[in-house]
Amino acid sequence: MDVNAKQKNSRTLLLLDPYPRDNPYQMTASERRSIWFPKLSLPVIAAYTPPDWDVCLVDEAVQEIDVDQPCDLVGISVMTCYAPRAYELAMAFRQRGKTVVLGGVHPTYCPEEALRYCDAIVCGEAEDLWPQVVADFEAGHVKRMYQMEHFPGLDHYRSPRVQLLNPDSYMTRHCTFTTRGCHFDCEFCSVSPFNGKTTRRRPVPEVIQEMQHVKEWLRSEIVERMSTGSLWNAVKTSAKIWVGLEEGSIVAFVDDLHNSHRAYCRELWQAMKALNIKWGCQSTLFLGDDQEMVKLAAESGCVSVFVGMESISDDSLGETNKGFNQVRKFEDQIKMFHDHGIMVNPGMVFGFDNDDESVFESTLNFLIRNGVELAYFNVLTPLPGTALYERYEREGRIFDRDWAKYDGKHVVFHPKRMTPDQLQEGFFWANHHFYSWGSIWHRLRHTNQRLIPRLEMNHEFRKLIRRTCPQGTLSPIATVLKNLQAKLPTIDTGLLIPSALHTITQTVPLKPQDLFLKIKGRRHDTLTALFIDLEGTLDHLNAQELLDRIKDAAKKARLDIVVNFEHLRQATPKALQMLLDQEILKAVAPYATLRYRKLRDAFHSALEGVTVSEFEPLEE
């Protein structure tokens, strides 16, 4: 009798994760099952909904939303790029007399906009707010805005109701999290503004208990499917489990910074050994500096890490407040993960102020050379709520306000050292070339663990890219800039002249790192010119190579060239003489004006009284 009364009086909550049906990047079922896992926001909201409510969860990336579906209350999770679709759905349900609540990052930072389309918004993390929203709805007086006053605690956290997710639609539904917040402050990222600049951690025993419960639930679901289906389906499922392709064969930690606390990770990973599972997470790349921790992660079942590498340029990393990523360590850190059988999936961002057209090819060359198994490319995007958005607003650089394009795949701002079209084309080009068969083979040929799942993921990414992404082309300047990058050995060390711009004397012994000339070419951000920075030691041999590259760049780019000697530490007299050779200067002159910046200041004693009558490269 009580059960019947509860069923009669129960209400229905419809939770929606919007995804535009006409989105060109819509995945097929096989692509989702290989590379996609769900967001946890709505399963968490379901867990914090009173038990006398029926909850229905619909991920529009997986199944269509029926706006006529019977329900009492509608909750929609809104990311910025899905805001237009979320607003469209909200208005459709409101027209049918339903109460609609929007939550997530976008309504938090654009509350006035969001309130135009719904009955109420939840700003910030919702665990403490959602029960009050439901209680107010039941009482008939929902407020317009629910504002988080403090971050929810993570002790006794209710496990996300991942059982509500559509089965057989993701790489895994076995998703969970261990931490919230991020103590880093990357300019383009909304995590620390939204989740806090310190990390909160769930108690390890509670995480282990949840993982054990979901593991057993998924296992029983698979057993039931095998026992009730055909023999052929049972054989296929068994084969997929054996090679690691079956849904649930890997646990996904969706924390933005899973390894934020070393002692916590040591306790967690040690406890996970008994679960006998495979898992992946989002991690800092510098975890690869700690062999003990990488070994422990591998022993506990870690098979994959997504790392926010972002760029292979120290200048770009410094620009976005990510100087803790050190490019000089990247290769060794990647190798550390690979040595322990862990797949490395870097997230890369194109479009920083220090990026020019050379960034695409140089990035791909680095990733392919180091055998990263996957990579996720994004166009830099100024999301509301981030410091990047505020800076670009001040500078007047945002030209597109269509939120649907704020998905990391479209250019919505004016870059500094290339045009928007060049950035967009380079993004397309990078995707196609990284997921070419040649690249896939080169990156996976040394893989000795989980080869079939990794090959399958690359295959599905390749299908997705080829179906949804234009080919893309690089401008001729991109090749010119690429050819200007070099690190050349210094052979002749006799009679070295120290740069007057550095505190170097000839009595200081040369170090191995000094016996190279590093050439870095880039587009100047204010001049229509190529800018070449020199570092290290210049002798006549690498001076000749430098001049050959300058002549080639002048012919192909037809842009003025500025060579910067500010950071050059020392040079030989013969090298300095070669830089002012009349015949070489004449060879460049028909195509470009060549200027030497800080050459006279750096080596004034050697160049005192030197003039070049017809071509004066020393004039700045």
Instruction: State the Cα–Cα distance between residues 154 and 180, nearest whole angstrom.
Output: 9
Q: Is it the case that residue 105 has pLDDT exceeding 80?
A: yes
What is residue 586's predicted lDDT score, i.e. its pLDDT? 86
What is residue 217's predicted lDDT score, i.e. its pLDDT? 81
Burial label for 373, CB within 10 Å (0-12, 13-18, 19+), is buried
What is residue 2's predicted lDDT score, i.e. its pLDDT? 40
Mean pLDDT of 125-151: 96
Count CB neighbours of 332 within 10 A: 10
Count CB neighbours of 404 within 10 A: 16
Amino acid at 260: S
Q: Is it the case that residue 3 has pLDDT exceeding 60?
A: no
Q: Is it the case that residue 4 has pLDDT exceeding 50?
A: no
What is residue 241's predicted lDDT score, i.e. its pLDDT? 67
Mean pLDDT of 142-158: 94
What is residue 108's predicted lDDT score, i.e. its pLDDT? 97
Instruction: State the Cα–Cα distance between residues 563 and 561, nearest whole angstrom.
Output: 7
Picking from 550, 412, 434, 392, the residue whose alpha carbon sits closest to that of residue 481 is 550
For the sheet with 251-253, list strands across it: 175-176, 251-253, 279-283, 302-310, 343-350, 376-379
Reported confidence tier of residue 366, pLDDT bands at 50, 70, 90: very high
Instruction: State the Cα–Cα distance between residues 167 and 163, nearest whole angstrom.
Output: 8
Reported confidence tier of residue 614, pLDDT bands at 50, 70, 90: low
What is residue 47's predicted lDDT score, i.e. its pLDDT? 96
574-595 tens-digit pLDDT: 988 888 888 888 888 889 888 8
What is residue 235's predicted lDDT score, i.e. its pLDDT? 73
Domains of the chain: 2-147 (3.40.50.2300), 171-474 (3.80.30.20), 477-607 (3.30.750.24)
Compute the Cα dihedral for 392, 394, 397, 402 and give only its sign: positive
245-274 tens-digit pLDDT: 656 678 899 998 888 889 999 999 999 999
391-406 tens-digit pLDDT: 999 999 999 999 999 9
What is residue 395's predicted lDDT score, i.e. its pLDDT? 96
Mean pLDDT of 35-39: 87
CB 197 within 8 A of CB 181: yes
- Residue whose structure tokens are 């089965």: 167
What is residue 446's predicted lDDT score, i.e. its pLDDT? 86
What is residue 1's predicted lDDT score, i.e. its pLDDT? 36
CB 254 within 8 A of CB 172: no
CB 313 within 8 A of CB 352: yes
- Residue 348 sits at φ, ψ, to 5 deg, of -120, 140
What is residue 246's predicted lDDT score, i.e. its pLDDT? 59
Mean pLDDT of 283-307: 95
53-101 tens-digit pLDDT: 999 999 999 999 999 999 999 999 999 999 999 999 999 999 999 999 9
Picking from 349, 364, 329, the residue whose alpha carbon sits closest to that of residue 442 is 364
Taking CB atoms within 8 Å and a gap of at least 24, the contacts of 316-319 are 316/352, 316/353, 316/354, 316/355, 319/187, 319/352, 319/353, 319/354
Q: Is it the case that residue 106 has pLDDT exceeding 70?
A: yes
Instruction: State the Cα–Cα distance between residues 250 and 343, nearest whole angstrom.
Output: 13
Mean pLDDT of 137-154: 94
What is the percentage of the chain residues whose pLDDT exceeds 90? 62
Half-sphere exposure of residue 145, counting CA atoms within 13 Å on the CB side? 15
First-to-final CA distance of the chain: 92
Picking from 599, 598, 604, 576, the residue whose alpha carbon sits closest to that of residue 496 is 576
What is residue 149's predicted lDDT score, i.e. its pLDDT? 92
- Residue whose structure tokens are 């060579």: 563
What is residue 121's predicted lDDT score, i.e. its pLDDT? 98
What is residue 428's predicted lDDT score, i.e. its pLDDT? 97
Mean pLDDT of 160-174: 88
CB 267 within 8 A of CB 205: no
CB 428 within 8 A of CB 469: yes
Instruction: State the Cα–Cα distance between residues 161 and 253, nearest whole angstrom.
Output: 15
Identify the H or E element spanning 297. Answer: helix 291-299
Mean pLDDT of 485-498: 85
What is residue 123's predicted lDDT score, i.e. its pLDDT? 97
What is the percentage of the chain residues whose pLDDT exceeds 70? 93
- Helices 437-444, 451-468: axis angle to 10 degrees equals 160
Q: What angle do CA 405, 281, 176 make, to 5 degrees?
A: 90
Compute the mean pLDDT over every residue in the chain, rounded to the nearest whole number. 89
Picking from 24, 81, 60, 19, the residue whose alpha carbon sits closest to that of residue 467 is 24
3-class secondary-structure state, position 442: helix
The two three-digit tokens of residue 135, written as one number: 């209680």
What is residue 611's predicted lDDT score, i.e. its pLDDT? 62
**Predicted model pTM:** 0.88
3-class secondary-structure state, position 520: strand
Reported confidence tier of residue 620, pLDDT bands at 50, 70, 90: low
Q: Is it the case that residue 534 has pLDDT exceeding 80?
A: yes
What is residue 513's predicted lDDT score, i.e. its pLDDT? 58
Mean pLDDT of 189-202: 89
The two three-digit tokens of residue 214, written as one number: 């979901």
